[in-house]
Amino acid sequence: MAHIDKNNVLEILGKKVHPGTGAVINLNMAKLYTTTSVEVPVIIERSKKPGPVVLLTAGIHGDEINGVEIVRQVISKNINKPVKGTIICIPVVNVFGFLNMKREFPDGRDLNRVFPGTKNGSLASRFAFQFVNKILPVADFCLDFHTGGASRFNAAQVRVLKGDEKSIKFANIFNAPFTMHSKTIGKSYRETCYRQGKMVLLYEGGKSMDSNKEIARHGVEGTMRILHHLGMLKPRFESPDPPVKTIVIENSSWMRAKYSGLLHVKIECGKHVEKGEYIATITDPYGKFRHKVIAPHTGYIINVNESPIVYQGDAIFHISAPPRQAEDKDEE
């Protein structure tokens, strides 16, 4: 099991990483049909001074590129070289999914629904087990980066448990445009972190199969603010001040399409709308049918379905809502 010994030497994945050094260690995931090994690079940077261990992860879902880009920029800009403590970056956790541009593992399972995994279970479950036992134990603070699934574009947001004052405190420091109160999902990575007493923030922004500069910027700047607060950000980096304070959303609801057809969205994700405001149109392909989509209540648009075609019942907008209209949040 990964640990830091009394001499501040990090032992992880069978290797020793001494203070003031860095390393790239591969976590062997599995093999392709051709017997070629599939490995997950784990990028470690350590200061000579002891301090917290921050773990940055992305690509738990292989088609969520925005998160990968955030962690890539943190590494590329040398933000991951701390003044004290250790920063561990894993830009692509689900390498199989990333290679195939698919959300799931090759066994069809969602990696973010099998944590903490089992030693002799499915491929995804085995990988989760290795991750939880060989990497997670040394982490004090976890930042996990995601996007909206399919064509659903998420406004940049951090998700925290309602009533968890510590998480809320760090969400305010990260200061994404939105902070969502969100329950943990069973067998998710976030739930596993909570159960093991790890401080964890989950960042959502953008959509799968897409790279968005603004979403990446919010993620990188939020990460820098966290590292600055922990005393780990090098002085040459200026911790960026957020333009506005994060908007806290305690409740939200999905708005679903009343008709099938072509969806024409009229409002940007992240905008505030008033009850009765015209926010989209649904039409048929033949120019005979046109339905105006009206905001059912006042709130912030925190997710937009950017698919050009929808079926009746498809989720098309996620809108902040008063408590009586609240529904469960969407997937992580």
Q: For residue 331, what pLDDT band results from cuts at 50, 70 and 90?
A: low
User: Are 304 and 200 found together in one domain?
Assistant: no
Residue 157 forms part of a structural domain: yes
CA distances from 65 to 46, 205, 224, 273, 287 (A): 26, 10, 20, 29, 36
Q: What percent of the chain has pLDDT over 90?
A: 90
Q: Where are the alpha helices (DSSP H) in the chain?
A: 65-76, 95-100, 123-134, 165-174, 189-195, 213-229
Q: State whether 290 and 141 are in the same domain.
A: no
Q: Is the same domain home to 276 and 158? A: no
For residues 197 and 151, membership in a common domain is answered with yes
Residue 193 scores a pLDDT above 80: yes
pLDDT at 332: 74
Task: Tell me the backbone φ, ψ of residue 2, rounded to 5 degrees.
Answer: -65, 140
Q: Which two tokens stand for residue 24?
A: 């790239």
Give domain status of residue 130, yes or no: yes
Q: Are residues 209 and 287 in the same domain?
A: no
What was the pLDDT predicted at 330?
A: 56
Answer whether residue 242 is part of any domain: no
Pair 133, 39 in one domain: yes
Q: Percentage of the chain with pLDDT > 70? A: 97
Is residue 115 assigned to a domain? yes
Number of domains in the chain: 2
**67 and 119 housed in the same domain:** yes
Domain annotation covers residue 235: no
Question: Is 47 in the same domain as 144?
Answer: yes
Question: Which CATH number characterizes residue 301's domain?
Answer: 2.40.50.100
68: domain range?
3-229
CA of residue 207 relative to chain centroid, distance: 11
37-60 burial, b for 16+ CB within 10 Å, e for fewer?
ebebebbbbbbeeebbbbbbbbbb
Domain assignment present for residue 239? The answer is no
211 and 295 co-located in one domain: no
**Shared-domain flag, residues 220 and 259:** no
Query: What's 134's domain CATH number?
Result: 3.40.630.10
Q: Tell me, yes or no, whether 41 and 113 share the same domain.
A: yes
- pLDDT at residue number 35: 86
Tokens of 286: 């033949």
Who's near 111: CB < 8 A, 6+ residues apart?
A: 60, 61, 93, 94, 97, 104, 105, 124, 127, 128, 189
Mean pLDDT of 64-69: 98
Whether residue 306 is found in the same domain as residue 166? no
Residue closest to 328 by CA, chosen among 147, 181, 203, 168: 181
Asked which of 34-38, 41-45, 56-60, 93-97 is least confident by mean pLDDT, the reply is: 34-38
Question: Are 229 and 201 contacting, i.e. CB atoms less than 8 angstroms apart?
Answer: no
Burial tier of 272 (Cβ tally within 10 Å: 0-12, 13-18, 19+): middle
| Residue 243 domain flag | no
Question: Is residue 55 in some structural domain?
Answer: yes
User: Which pTM was predicted?
Assistant: 0.95
